[in-house]
Every structure is written in structure tokens, then in C-alpha cells.
């Protein structure tokens, strides 16, 4: 754990608190799936130490002058840090009509939140790297704007051509984009290991080839993540150039429910590690940590019960929102 404690005690506890909240939320999502109430689970337990600091550093809001996020489907901890409620998360796994992101159409943890410039998360691996450049481009020509676009993805996603697209388009001479490009490297693409597929030493090396300022960091260390992200974001706001960060993270419950969604003991748990660190440094007591876990678990149980009572979407709504402003898209009615 990074010893450089330039973060205040309050900041450290806040990060820890949000990491626990994100973990409890994810574990409850898995629980809901295993109760047979959801059809699928995929998410970000193991990425909290990187994703929570990211969420805290975002200048959140709506419009071109606020930051934009192109997240992968493991981005819940970032959104929890930005203020997403457990309720919104549970609505996705229970595919409720009340789910703001998709009204019960899309998978769990596929968020779409225009109030915070969170572009729709897709199941298609890597495409967010191509889309993010368009938004960063629009920001780049917005006068006096300090806003940036953040794109996240996994190491397997970096195999896709869209990742190369992102590196090429964001680093064109004199047309550099205010884009924070990140890869959360958990060493796996479902069942295929990183080691078997990458000839390069690091993914960051690929970004360096485009003269993009690049870092490889311990994504299981929230303090290191906070500092590196903070520095990168400040650089982008000021210099309007891309920065690349490869964060080494864990995948604590496997790929998804398709691979069982069971806890993987061999992986390092960033929340427990950070908790031990805070207790050892006397910034947190054991009792306090237990209370935080207990309170979030109780909130999760209560919230699940509430969301389960909410309405399901109706079949006759499938034609809604194919075209904007209520325009008909059903050929039977042309």
C-alpha cells in the first residue's frame, strides 16, 4: 500500500467507505442473481481501488463542459463514488421498468446516465474506445473548456481494433484529444489468460508508441490510483492531450455469472487490503469497519425488497424510443 499519505484521513475513509459500498452492492447483485431473480450478473468487484478514486475525481454533470464517461460493464464502483444509489443498480439486475438506464432492456451494470454524461454501456467489447474519441473531439474544440472524456475497458478489450483506433485518433499531431484512456488489466478475458495473448510487456507500451503519456499502476491500491488519476486528469485539463493508464486489478468473482460468479480466493482483495492498512495506521478501528459493512449490507437487503416491488416493463413498450420524439418506427404503421 502506498505510504504517501497526502490524502487526509477523511478522504481515505471516504474512499474506503465507497469501496465497501460498491463491493456490498456488487455482492448483493450476485446474490439476487443466485436467488434466481436476475438473469445474469457481470460487474466490477476487484476494481474498486481504481474505480472509486476515478469517480471521485470526475467533474460530473451534463453537457460538453462536464466530463464524459465511456465505461465498461465493470464500472459500478465509479458510479457509486459519483453518487449512484443501490436502488439504480438493483433495478438493472431485476430489469425493472423503473431502471433509468434502460427501462429493463439491458443487462445488469449497463448504465446510461445523461445527468452525469455517462454514455450507454454496451456488452460489445472495446467499442467504447472508438466512441469516446468523438466526444473528446467535441470537447477539444470547445473554447476554454477544461472537460475531458474518460474511457475504461479491460485487457481483453484492448485486443480489439477499437483500442488501436483510440490511440491513433487521440494522438494525431496538433489534434490531440482531452482523453483519459484506461485499461483495467485483470489478466483475463473470460477464460483466456492475458499472458497467453500478449506479446508486449505492458498494454501501456502500445500507448507510448503514439507519444501518449502512459503509466502502469497498482490498481489494487486506492491511494496510488487516486494520485495517478488526479495527476493525469489535471494534465489533461490543462494540456488537452491524452493520458493512458493501465491499472493492474483483480477479478474477484470471475468473468460473470456465466463462469459461476464465485469468490476467487487466489485474487488479491483491494477492499480488505485497504481496510487492513487503515486499521494498521490507526485511521480506522475494526469496530468502525464492521459497522460500515453491516450498515451497507442492511441497506442492500432493504433496497432489494423495495425494488422487487417495482413494476416490470410491459411488452407493448418495445416500440418506444426506436426513433426520437415518439416517431413511429413500426413498419406495420407506415
| C-beta of 83 vs 260, nearer to another protein | 83
Closest separation between CB of residue 327 and another protein, Å? 8
Nearest approach, Cβ of residue 134 and another protein (Å): 2
185 SS3 class = strand
Report the half-sphere exposure of 213 (CA within 13 A, side-chain side): 18
Our CB check for another protein shows the closer of 123 and 192 to be 123
The HSE-up count of residue 150 (CA atoms within 13 Å, CB side) is 31
Minimum CB–partner distance for residue 17 and another protein (Å): 29
- Residue closer to another protein (CB basis): 92 or 185: 92
Provide the minimum distance between the beta carbon of 156 and another protein in the complex, in angstroms, as a whole number: 16
Contact yes or no for 69/117 (Cβ under 8 A): yes
- 4 C-beta neighbours (distance < 10 Å), count: 9
Q: Which is nearer to another protein, 83 or 161 (CB)?
A: 161
Instruction: Compute, in degrees rounded to 10, the torsion defined by CA atoms 32, 34, 36, 37.
Output: 10
Distance of closest approach, residue 128 Cβ to another protein, in angstroms: 9
Of 77, 74, 84, the residue nearest 18 (C-alpha): 77
Q: Quickly list DSSP for 103-155.
A: TT-S-TT---BGGGTBPPP-SSTTHHHHHHHHHHHHHHTSTT----EEE--BT
State the nearest-atom distance from the C-beta of 328 to another protein, in Å.
Answer: 8
- Summarize as ranges the residues that interact with another protein (CB under 8 A): 63-64, 68, 70, 99-103, 105-106, 110, 112-114, 119-120, 122, 124, 127, 129-139, 149, 161-162, 165, 168-169, 172, 320-325, 327-329, 331, 334
DSSP string, 51-67: HHHHHHH----SSTTS-
Helices 127-140 and 161-170: crossing angle in degrees, nearest 10, is: 20
Minimum distance, C-beta of residue 324 to another protein, in the bound complex (Å): 4
Of residues 175 and 208, the one with the C-beta less far from another protein: 175
SS3 of residue 324 by DSSP = helix
Q: Which is nearer to another protein, 102 or 289 (CB)?
A: 102
Whole-number minimum distance, CB 323 to another protein, in Å?
A: 5
Nearer CB in complex with another protein: 66/248: 66
- Cβ(69)–Cβ(116) below 8 Å: yes
**Which CB, 134 or 295, lies closer to another protein?**
134
Task: Dump the DSSP string for 97-115.
Answer: TT-TTTTT-S-TT---BGG
In sequence order, the β-bridge partners of residue 179 are 149
Question: Which of 16, 70 has the CB closer to another protein?
Answer: 70
- We find the least distance from the C-beta atom of residue 266 to another protein, in angstroms, to be 34
Find the angle CA(87)-CA(274)-CA(13) to the nearest 5 degrees: 60
Between CA 137 and CA 258, with CA 47 as vertex, the angle to 5 degrees is 100
Give the single-character DSSP code of 154: B
Residues 78, 82, 88: CA angle, nearest 5 degrees: 85
Amino acid at each position: 500500500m502506498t505510504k504517501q499519505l497526502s490524502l487526509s484521513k477523511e478522504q481515505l475513509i471516504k474512499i474506503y467507505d465507497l469501496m465497501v459500498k460498491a463491493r456490498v452492492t456488487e455482492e448483493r447483485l450476485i446474490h439476487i442473481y443466485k436467488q434466481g431473480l436476475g438473469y445474469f450478473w457481470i460487474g466490477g468487484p476487484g476494481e474498486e481501488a481504481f474505480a472509486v478514486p476515478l469517480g471521485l475525481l470526475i467533474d460530473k454533470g451534463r453537457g460538453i463542459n462536464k466530463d464524459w464517461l465511456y465505461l465498461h460493464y465493470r464500472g459500478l464502483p465509479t458510479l457509486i463514488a459519483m453518487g449512484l444509489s443501490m436502488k439504480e443498480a438493483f433495478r438493472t439486475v431485476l430489469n425493472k421498468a423503473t431502471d433509468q438506464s434502460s427501462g429493463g432492456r439491458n443487462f445488469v451494470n449497463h448504465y446510461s446516465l445523461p445527468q452525469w454524461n455517462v454514455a450507454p454501456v454496451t456488452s460489445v467489447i472495446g467499442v467504447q474506445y472508438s466512441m469516446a474519441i468523438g466526444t473528446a473531439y467535441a470537447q477539444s474544440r470547445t473554447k476554454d473548456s477544461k472537460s475531458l472524456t474518460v474511457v475504461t475497458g479491460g485487457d481483453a478489450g484492448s485486443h480489439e481494433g477499437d483500442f488501436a483506433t483510440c490511440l491513433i485518433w487521440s494522438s494525431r499531431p496538433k489534434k490531440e484529444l482531452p482523453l483519459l484512456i484506461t485499461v483495467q488489466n485483470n489478466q483475463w478475458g473470460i477464460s483466456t489468460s492475458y499472458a497467453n495473448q500478449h506479446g508486449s510487456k505492458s498494454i501501456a507500451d502500445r500507448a507510448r508508441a503514439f507519444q501518449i503519456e502512459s503509466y502502469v499502476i497498482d490498481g489494487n491500491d486506492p491511494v496510488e490510483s487516486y494520485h495517478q488519476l488526479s495527476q493525469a486528469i489535471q494534465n489533461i485539463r490543462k494540456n488537452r492531450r491524452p493520458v493512458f493508464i493501465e491499472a493492474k486489478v483483480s477479478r474477484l468473482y470471475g468473468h460473470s455469472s456465466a463462469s459461476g460468479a464465485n469468490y476467487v480466493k487466489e485474487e488479491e482483495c483491494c477492499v480488505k487490503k485497504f481496510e487492513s492498512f487503515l486499521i494498521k495506521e490507526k485511521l480506522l478501528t475494526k469496530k468502525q469497519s464492521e459497522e460500515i459493512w453491516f450498515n451497507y449490507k442492511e441497506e442492500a437487503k432493504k433496497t432489494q425488497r423495495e425494488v422487487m416491488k417495482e413494476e416490470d416493463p410491459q411488452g407493448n413498450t418495445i416500440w418506444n424510443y426506436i426513433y426520437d420524439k415518439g416517431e413511429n418506427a413500426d413498419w406495420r404503421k407506415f
